[in-house]
Amino acid sequence: MSRKPYQRELPKTTWFLRHARYKKYMLHEISAFAVAVYLLILIIGLFRLGQGEEAWAGWLSFVTSPFGLILHLIIFGLSLVHTTAWFKAVPQAMRVQRGEQFVPGPTIVGAHYVVWAAVSVFVLILAGVA
Amino acid sequence: MSERTIELEVLRYRPEQDSEPWFQTYKVSCPEEWVVLDALNYVKDELDRTLSYRWSCHMFVCGSCGMVIDGEPKLACKAFLRDYGNRIRIEPLANFPIERDLVIVMDDFMEKLESVKPYLIPKEEKSIDQGEYLQTPAQLKAYKQYSMCINCMLCYSACPQYGLAPEFIGPAALALAHRYNMDSRDVGRKAREDTVASHEGIWECSFVGACSEVCPKSVDPAGAIQQVKLTSAIDYFTSWLPGGGSR
Amino acid sequence: MARSHKAPFWFLFAAGGTVVAFVLPVMVLVTGIAPTLGLFEGAMSFDAMSAFVGNWLVKIVLFGIITLALWHAAHRLRVVAHDFGIRADAPVAGTVYGLAALGTLLTAIALLGV
Ligand code: SF4
């Protein structure tokens, strides 16, 4: 009997609409845009800082404009998406074996959250005190 | 024992007659404790003998009855009807060519499995008289999870990167390479690395993680691949150092 | 099969992803959202900021954070292009990594100018 296998193609640009887990993955991937835009703003800010008080004030007025705020809120949201997804994946990518046991995933993830909190508080204190 | 009538929408493809697949609906009265495979067996025995699908053990061991059930890659023997509504859509595994009905062509998977040398490559061959290659429980534990794979291919069905780039070696084969790399009795990592760390290997993976979510044996191929990425990246750097590994 | 050269870029991606996960949310909060809310007004003033970034240690840490984050984003954008069906990987990679390299250079210049 002759064979005639049928090949179904995955739609190259819309495949991720097919399943909730793919959409979640794409949201995480998209966070790269947020990181890129934020870094662009930040680097411009550093240049402005070097150019003097007036230039810096101009940059600050962009940040505090309604558009600047909305932009940063979106970036903030996506940065949280990245952080939570990244921490969740750590135990998969990095297993720690002690004798016959592995350090449980939740312990590793929990440790990351503790460090995250410490780092964040440190930066906030720096900002509040500086 | 409660029964309910379930409509099974099964993707049919008969290469002699059909130019493309189509859905056929079977109405089956099912006891609630059945799994999807039981319902398919009922169809085959009582309603339509032309329906083709693979199955063997009926107990999550053989890995034959992988199919896409309501959009999710599943073992039909592990998909309990009580978890589904009155209409269940059954399709063959995605990303593979359909041979007939729910039967897919798995040649590509078999080739990829072979390409990663999924067997022990010991430092020195021992004869049977010389005894076993010994291993401590902790050494066993290091790779045991990755040895649980039953080659059901659900992970390939879930992996969009395999769907987008069919040359990708894919989750189960890479996890199996990792299983042998992690085995204290094995020294074959270098021999596997040319395939594993190639463009078609681990680097095609973008850690969607779908493979690990659908795996019926909790193998976590996605985790295995990320671990291999890290060791391969370290290899990459040390290979540039004097005395580093061959590239 | 030939070994891939994605390894070093993936390494930067992974290191950057870790840095981004730990520090980006709070940085966005301080430099992007707090100014509008009127929090930490002193910290974001010209004098305080100049003094802060003027510190060499701060410069080095900021340079590390920004560049790793840049390479992280660049590599991920390469993957995003692939995921949206753009299969011309070489030009995409050249573009995103080129931008990351440019960003690295600009970061250094900006930091040295403060
Ligand atoms: S890794 Fe899991 S899903 Fe993939 S073939 Fe093996 S058992 Fe099946």
Residue B201 is predicted with a pLDDT of 96
Residue A2 is predicted with a pLDDT of 78
CATH of the domain at A53: 1.20.1300.10
Instruction: Please indicate, yes or no, whether residues A40 and A62 belong to a single structural domain of this protein.
Output: yes
Chains touching A (3+ CB pairs < 8 Å): B, C
Distance CA B247, CA A116 (A): 38
Instruction: Please indicate, yes or no, whether residues A19 and A82 belong to a single structural domain of this protein.
Output: yes
Chains touching B (3+ CB pairs < 8 Å): A, C
Task: Tell me which residue has its CA closest to atom 7 in ligand 1.
Answer: B149
Residue B245 is predicted with a pLDDT of 52
Convert the pLDDT of each residue in A47-75 to its tens digit. 999 999 999 999 999 999 999 999 999 99
Which residue of chain B comes nearest to C75, CA vs CA? Answer: B206
Domain count, chain B: 2
Percent of chain C with pLDDT over 90: 82
Residue B243 is predicted with a pLDDT of 64
Q: Environment class of residue A73 by beta-carbon count within 10 Å: exposed (0-12), middle (13-18) or buried (19+)?
A: middle
Residue B246 is predicted with a pLDDT of 47
Distance CA A5, CA B19 (A): 10
Distance CA A94, CA B189 (A): 19
pLDDT-based confidence at residue C92 (cuts at 50, 70, 90): very high
In a domain, A40, yes or no: yes
Put simply, the answer to whether B142 touches A97 (Cβ < 8 Å) is yes
Q: Is the ipTM of this complex over 0.90?
A: yes
In a domain, A7, yes or no: no
Residues of C in contact with A123 (CB under 8 A): 23, 26-27, 30
- B205: containing domain: 107-246
Cα(C67) to ligand 1 centroid in Å equals: 38
- C24: containing domain: 8-112
CATH of the domain at C98: 1.20.1300.10
* Facing B232 at nearest CB: one of C2, C7, C79: C7
Put simply, the answer to whether A99 touches B220 (Cβ < 8 Å) is no
Q: Which residues are within 8 A (CB) of B75 and not within 5 positions of it... i.e. 6 or more apart?
A: B60, B63, B65, B66, B152, B154, B216
In a domain, C19, yes or no: yes
**What is the maximum alpha-carbon separation in chain B?**
72
Q: Look at residues B85, B104, B123 and tell me which one is the last residue of a structural domain.
A: B104
Place of tokens 């870094």: A39
Cα(B72) to ligand 1 centroid in Å equals: 14
List the beta strands (DSSP E) in chain C: none
Instruction: Please indicate, yes or no, whether residues B91 and B117 belong to a single structural domain of this protein.
Output: no
Q: Is B153's C-beta closer than 6 angstroms to any atom of ligand 1?
A: yes
In a domain, C42, yes or no: yes
- Nearest residue to B144 via CA among A93, A108, A95: A95
Query: Mean pLDDT, consecutive 10-residue segments, chain B of 247 residues?
Result: 92 96 97 97 97 97 98 98 97 98 98 96 91 94 97 98 95 98 96 93 96 97 97 87 59
Amino acid at B180: Y
Convert the pLDDT of each residue in C52-80 to its tens digit. 999 999 999 999 999 999 999 999 999 99
Q: Is B147's C-beta closer than 6 angstroms to any atom of ligand 1?
A: no
Which residue of chain A comes nearest to B139, CA vs CA? Answer: A100
Instruction: Please indicate, yes or no, whether residues A27 and A83 belong to a single structural domain of this protein.
Output: yes
Instruction: Please indicate, yes or no, whether residues A83 and A100 belong to a single structural domain of this protein.
Output: no
In a domain, A81, yes or no: yes
Distance CA B93, CA B151 (A): 13
Run of H or E including A59: helix A53-63
Put simply, the answer to whether A56 touches C49 (Cβ < 8 Å) is yes
* Facing C24 at nearest CB: one of A35, A87, A128: A35
Task: Tell me which residue has its CA closest to atom 8 in ligand 1.
Answer: B152
Residues of C in contact with B235 (CB under 8 A): 7
Q: Which whole-number Å values give the CA distances from A18 to A15, A22, B98, B120, in the listed order?
A: 6, 7, 20, 39
Residue B247 is predicted with a pLDDT of 42
- B152 alpha carbon, distance to own chain's centre: 4
For B98, list phi and psi in degrees, rounded to 5.
Answer: -90, 125
Q: Is B174's C-beta closer than 6 angstroms to any atom of ligand 1?
A: no
Domain count, chain C: 1
Distance CA B153, CA B160 (A): 13
CB atoms within 10 A of CB C108: 14
Burial B6-34 (b: 16+ CB within 10 A, else e): bebebbbbebeeeeebeeeebebebeeeb
Q: Is the dihedral of CA A32, A38, A41, A46 positive or negative?
A: negative
Task: Record the pTM.
Answer: 0.93
Q: Which two tokens stand for residue A76?
A: 């903030």
* Facing B210 at nearest CB: one of A4, A21, A97: A21
Q: Look at residues B104, B129, B162 and tell me which one is the last residue of a structural domain.
A: B104
Contact, A92 vs B226, CB < 8 A?
A: yes
Q: Is B51's C-beta closer than 6 angstroms to any atom of ligand 1?
A: no
Q: Which two tokens stand for residue B20?
A: 């493309």
- A51: containing domain: 13-87
Distance CA B202, CA B114 (A): 16
Run of H or E including B72: strand B72-75
- Give residues 158 to 187 of B whose Cβ lies within 8 Å of A: 160, 163-164
Instruction: Please indicate, yes or no, whether residues A75 and A31 belong to a single structural domain of this protein.
Output: yes
CB atoms within 10 A of CB C11: 19
Instruction: Please indicate, yes or no, whether residues A98 and A35 belong to a single structural domain of this protein.
Output: no
Put simply, the answer to whether C4 touches B199 (Cβ < 8 Å) is yes
Put simply, the answer to whether A16 touches B220 (Cβ < 8 Å) is no
Domain count, chain A: 2
Instruction: Please indicate, yes or no, whether residues A71 and A108 belong to a single structural domain of this protein.
Output: no
Instruction: Please indicate, yes or no, whether residues A38 and A79 belong to a single structural domain of this protein.
Output: yes
* Bridge partners (DSSP) listed for residue B198: C3
Run of H or E including C53: helix C46-54
Contact, B206 vs C83, CB < 8 A?
A: yes
CA angle B222, B227, B232 (to 5 degrees): 120
Q: Look at residues B53, B79, B104 and tell me which one is the last residue of a structural domain.
A: B104
Instruction: Please indicate, yes or no, whether residues B231 and B188 belong to a single structural domain of this protein.
Output: yes
Residue A127 is predicted with a pLDDT of 86
Cα(B172) to ligand 1 centroid in Å equals: 5
- Nearest residue to A10 via CA among B101, B23, B155, B96: B96
Distance CA C81, CA C94 (A): 12
Put simply, the answer to whether C3 touches B233 (Cβ < 8 Å) is no
Q: Environment class of residue B59 by beta-carbon count within 10 Å: exposed (0-12), middle (13-18) or buried (19+)?
A: exposed
Put simply, the answer to whether B220 touches A92 (Cβ < 8 Å) is yes
Q: Is B225's C-beta closer than 6 angstroms to any atom of ligand 1?
A: no
Convert the pLDDT of each residue in A73-115 to its tens digit. 999 999 999 999 999 999 999 999 999 999 999 999 999 999 9
